[in-house]
Amino acid sequence: MSRPQTQIEKILSHHSTEAPGRPVEPEDIVEVEVDRLVLLDMAATHPEFMGHLPHRIQHPERIAWVFDHLVPPPTIELATGLAKLRELARRWGIREVFDVGRGGISHPLMAERGWVRPGEILANTDSHTCAAGALGCAGRGVGMLEVMSILCTGKTWFRVGGTVRARLEGKLPRGVYGKDLFLALAGTYGGIPGKNLEFQGPGVAHLAIPTRQVVATMGAEIGAEFVLFPPDDRALEYVRARVPAGETLRPVEADPEAHYEQEWPLALDPLVPLVAEPGRVTRNVKPVQELSHVAIQRAVVGSCANGTLEDLEQVSTILAGRKVHPDVVLTVTPNTSAVFAEASRLGHLETIVRAGGLVTNATCGACFGGHLGVLGDGEVCVTSTTRNFQGRMGSSQARIYLASSATVAASAVTGHLTDPRELLSEAP
Amino acid sequence: MRIAGRAWVVGDDINTDLLYPATCFRLPPAERRWQTLSANRPGWAREVRPGDVLVAGSNFGMGSSRPAADNLRDLGIRLVVADSINGLFFRTAINTGLPILEVPGVSRSVREGSRLEADLTEGWVRTDGRELQGRPLPPFLARILEDGGVLARLAKQGYID
């Protein structure tokens, strides 16, 4: 009888090049086969890549190229770079190119297109690749140099970390969302650099897939290597609807007796809307109501974490019949072109625009201080994007508060940090 | 692998937005290094001398996949030692050829300006007559550093020029 394994240990063990199926444990270095690889437009900004292109690549059919960080290109250099990337994709036989206007942010896009599958290993340069864990897929951001190595060899390595188990009980109450769930964990339990986070418990079944995606994406902010939800019926139904008929899924669950380094219990029913104060996410979280004195000038909804259709619906529900406060600029970025189109069909975008908000194309955009609304000196921003680090969204003299999209929308209406339940209860 | 140098000490939660601000994306590669820690420690990048060592607190390198380790390497930082290190930054450092070691408690044990010596594969650091034990660098990763980083390795294997 072999040692019982956590979900991530099992996935890594199955993919081991040296001894497939042999159990792995913390501190092991495991070399693995990569099932799918995602390249980004940012490749064009890496001189190491553009100046040392692989002579040939492994498995072009397992590779997608997504233009998401700086689209449409704001500089001549980037526009020129994108043309080179298109040519490279043609030369290498990469057919899955999600060009400007035809894709969106890589993490939600890959899930939407059936590229995120339970039990598989998905690599991407970008740190928020842990988003794939919402569907039980071991997604990991590995950086440009490692992506070059995977292009050449088809393989990568992981240093196995200990695993933490979050046990969820109950249901999220009205006005409280996936971002609040994540902030509750980050605020209570802090960072786990190098370790994995697996979600279990009866509360998981009540979480919709987009909610799980928010939580899994944000796992990067507590330093998690991998964040995994179980491949339950809800996850499998989501994936099957997006995978060509006849392709087999290989979901992996944790062994019942697996060893977890820490247990993080979390009751969902008592949760309230939360906000992370500027600087860091871990142990820096308060109820929104305790910060209602904070005046804001900028409000941002979007990113790989919180640009889902559900986010746009939350924003539209709060903004319906109201106006964005005259001292606030609200920017809303759907996370994929498909979400943009559906939010348009449902009228959410019209509601946002009529309220005085700005809707942008699907891009990482302002979240990483790239373009489409970076912050200026002294500005105070509330955002449902991914990071509140100093200088993250532009000026190092700006202050960033991190919250749910509903909290951002409510704050955009009042001009100060606002618990969205106050506006949800008095729908105009 | 043994490395020694003069230590700089920074605190907890030094993330990639501090190490490699978004302004770097718009600068020529040779100028990016001067932005390192410009938000929280202005002027520091100009004081670093080739061969110096950076000692940091917990959660070092938290954040994005941007080539933040390049900035430290290009400033001449020869080694990073931290209480705990973000996994993606750890990988980026190894791949870029920047030696890196996790030694819990190191940031409270090293005085800025002191000489620090470390052995990567044995996992210890010595400074001011004290020795601390950390997580030894596995041989698999030490070999990437010995090759000079992943680009040099891929070139050696004939995958790239």
Average pLDDT, chain A: 97
- Going across the sheet that includes A138-141, the strands are A96-98, A63-66, A36-40, A121-124, A138-141
Calpha distance A132→A112 (Å, rounded): 11
List CB contacts (< 8 A) between A374 and chain B.
Answer: 22
Going by C-beta distance under 8 Å and a sequence separation of 6 or more, which residues neighbour residue A187?
A274, A276, A282, A283, A284, A285, A286
- The token pair at A377 is 């000196």
- Mutant choice from A29, A126, A159 vs B, greatest count of B C-beta within 10 A: A159
Across the interface, whether the CB atoms of A143 and B65 are under 8 A apart is answered: yes
Say if residue A187 is in the same domain as residue A282. no
Residue A1 has pLDDT above 60, yes or no: no
Position A426 pLDDT exceeds 80: no
Cβ–Cβ below 8 Å for A148 and B21: no
The answer to whether residue A117 neighbours chain B at the CB level (below 8 Å) is no
A152:B87 CB<8 A:
no
Structural domain total, chain B: 1
Q: Is the ipTM of this complex over 0.90?
A: yes
User: Which residue of B lies nearest to A152 if distances are taken between CA atoms?
Assistant: B159
Q: Which whole number is the average pLDDT over A106-118? A: 98
Residue A226 sits in the same domain as residue A296: no
pLDDT of residue A144: 97
Are residues A139 and A242 both part of a single domain? yes
- Check CB contact under 8 Å for A141 and B88: yes
Mark whether A307 and A231 lie in a shared domain: no
Tell me the residue type at B124. W
Smallest Cβ–Cβ distance between A391 and the set B21, B84, B151 belongs to B21
Is residue A408 domain-resident? yes
User: Which residues of chain A have a CB within 8 Å of the CB of B65?
Assistant: 125-127, 141-144
Residue B161 lies in a domain: no
Q: Do strands A63-66 and A196-200 pair parallel, antiparallel, or not at all (unpaired)?
A: unpaired
Q: How far is CA A195 from the centre of its chain?
A: 18
Could you report the per-residue pLDDT of A323-375, keeping only the tens digit for each?
Answer: 999 999 999 999 999 999 999 999 999 999 999 999 999 999 999 998 999 99
**Residue B22 has what pLDDT?**
87
The tokens for B2 are: 């043994």
Query: Do A245 and A279 lie in a common domain?
Result: no
- DSSP letter assigned to residue A2: P
Residue of A nearest to B30 (CA): A47
Burial class (CB in 10 A: 0-12, 13-18, 19+), A247: exposed
> Which chain A residues in 73-102 lie under 8 Å from chain B, judged by CB atoms?
75
Does A334 share its domain with A191?
no
> pLDDT by residue (tens digit) across A188-199?
999 999 999 999
Q: Do A275 and A402 touch, CB atoms closer than 8 A?
A: yes
Distance between CA atoms of residues A388 and A383, nearest Å: 8
- Structure confidence at residue A425 as a pLDDT band (50, 70, 90): confident
User: Which residue on chain A is closest to B36 by alpha carbon?
Assistant: A391
- Write the residue in A45, A157, A221 that is nearest to B25 by C-beta: A45
How far, in Å, CA of A153 to CA of A156, rounded? Answer: 8
**A44 assigned to some structural domain:** yes
Instruction: Classify residue B120: in a domain, yes or no.
Output: yes
CB-CB contact of A49 with A144 (8 Å):
yes
A125 and A13 co-located in one domain: yes
Judge if A305 and A378 occupy the same domain: yes
Q: Name every residue whose Cβ is closer than 8 Å to that of residue A353 and which is 6 or more positions away in sequence.
A: A359
In a domain, A306, yes or no: yes
Of A193, A282, A374, the CB nearest to B85: A193
The secondary structure of A310-360 as a DSSP string is: HHHHHHHHHHTT----TT-EEEE--SBHHHHHHHHHTTHHHHHHHTT-EE-
Residues of B with CB below 8 A from A280's CB? 13, 15, 62
Candidates B125, B136, B127, B104; CA nearest to B12 is B104
Span A222-263, pLDDT tens digits: 999 999 999 999 999 999 999 999 999 999 999 999 999 999
What value does the mean pLDDT take over residues B33-58?
97
Query: CA angle, corner B5, sides to B3 and B6, nearest 5?
Result: 155
Residues 6+ apart with CB under 8 A from A76: none
- Each residue of A279-292: pLDDT tens digit? 999 999 999 999 99
Residues 272-301 of A with CB under 8 A from B: 279-280, 282
pLDDT value of position A34: 98
Q: What is the pLDDT of residues A56-81, one digit of tens each?
A: 999 999 999 999 999 999 999 999 99
CA distances from B43 to A297, B14, B47, B48, B56 (A): 30, 16, 7, 9, 18
* Residue A107 in contact with partner chain B when CB distance is under 8 A: no
Measuring CA to CA, how many Å separate A232 from each of A7, A165, A199?
A: 13, 16, 11
Q: Is A209 exposed, middle or buried (0-12, 13-18, 19+ CB in 10 A)?
A: middle
State how far residue B11 is from chain A, nearest Cα, in angstroms. 13
A chain contacts of residue B64, beta-carbon cutoff 8 Å: 126-127, 141, 368
In terms of residue numbers, what domain contains A198? 7-19+28-249+259-267
Based on the structure, what is the number of domains in chain A?
2
DSSP A216-232: HHHGGGGT-S-EE----
Let me know if residue B13 belongs to a domain.
yes
DSSP-based three-state secondary structure for A207: coil
- pLDDT tens across A307-322, in order? 999 999 999 999 999 9
A225: distance to nearest CA of chain B, Å?
Answer: 6
The answer to whether the beta carbons of residues A136 and A119 sit under 8 Å apart is: yes
Residues in chain B closer than 8 A to A142 (CB atoms): 65, 88, 91
Beta-carbon separation of B65 and A392 below 8 A:
no
Average of per-residue pLDDT across B42-68:
97
Mean pLDDT of A36-59: 96
Cα gap A36→A235, rounded to integer Å:
19
Which burial class, exposed, middle or buried, applies to B30 when counting CB atoms under 10 A from its CB (0-12, 13-18, 19+)?
Answer: exposed
Q: Is A159 on the interface with B (CB under 8 A)?
A: yes
Structure confidence at residue B25 (pLDDT): 83
Q: Distance between CA atoms of A381 and A373, rounded to whole angstroms?
A: 11
Query: DSSP 3-state assignment of A380?
Result: strand
**CB of A141 within 8 Å of any CB in chain B?**
yes
A148 Cβ contact partners less than 8 Å away, ≥ 6 residues apart: A48, A49, A52, A54, B150, B151, B154, B160
Range of the domain at B55: 2-156
pLDDT band with cut points at 50, 70 and 90 for residue A428: low
CA dist A220 and A129 (Å) reads: 8
Q: What CATH number corresponds to the domain at position A185?
A: 3.30.499.10
CA distance linking residue A242 with residue A209, whole number of Å:
13
Same domain, A244 and A342: no
Assign residue B83 the CATH number of its domain. 3.20.19.10
Is position B100 within any domain? yes
Q: What share of chain A has pLDDT > 90, as a percent?
A: 97
